[in-house]
Structure 1
Amino acid sequence: MKATIGDQLHVHSRTVEQADRTGVILEVRGQDGDPPYFVRFSDGHECLMYPGPDCEVEMQR
């Protein structure tokens, strides 16, 4: 998984009761676009993430 600042990270829900989460990548702390990523989600929560198989990166347009 590769990303750049400004890309969106989509975290797909693992259960029916939870909604998918979307956030903006604010920092790429790995080399050459690799994780970890510092992400701000749409609810305002910010965290450092190592995305798993339930995540997708959508490139900034």
Structure 2
Amino acid sequence: MEAAVGDRIIVQGTRPGAARRDGEIIGLHHPDGSPPYDVRWSDDGRVTEYFPGPDARIHHYRHADETAPSQPHLFAD
């Protein structure tokens, strides 16, 4: 599993009645994007170090258009 800062992690509960959780990855411990991750959970805003299990998946954040060459931003006065 690989992630980057800004990606979302979604954890689907495997036990009956377990709630689904999601959060934003705000920190990495390894430059290759492997676990563990520092995650800010959306349900309570807490930040925890998280080691994903088989019930977790990563939703990779993408900019609107990563393939287009960057262009300068023009600001009107």
TM-score (norm 1): 0.90
> Higher strand fraction: Structure 1 or Structure 2?
1
- Structure 1: runs of 5+ lacking an equivalent: none
Higher-RCO chain (CA-CA 8 Å, sequence separation at least 6): 1
Amino-acid identity (%): 39
How large is the Cα RMSD of the aligned pairs? 1.0
Question: How many residue pairs end up in the alignment?
Answer: 61
Q: 1:18 Cα deviation (Å)?
A: 2.2
- Structure 2: runs of 5+ lacking an equivalent: 63-77
Q: 1:30 Cα deviation (Å)?
A: 1.8
Where does residue 61 of structure 2 map in the other structure?
60
Report 1:1-61 matches (<5 A). 1-43=1-43, 44-61=45-62
> Higher helix fraction: Structure 1 or Structure 2?
1
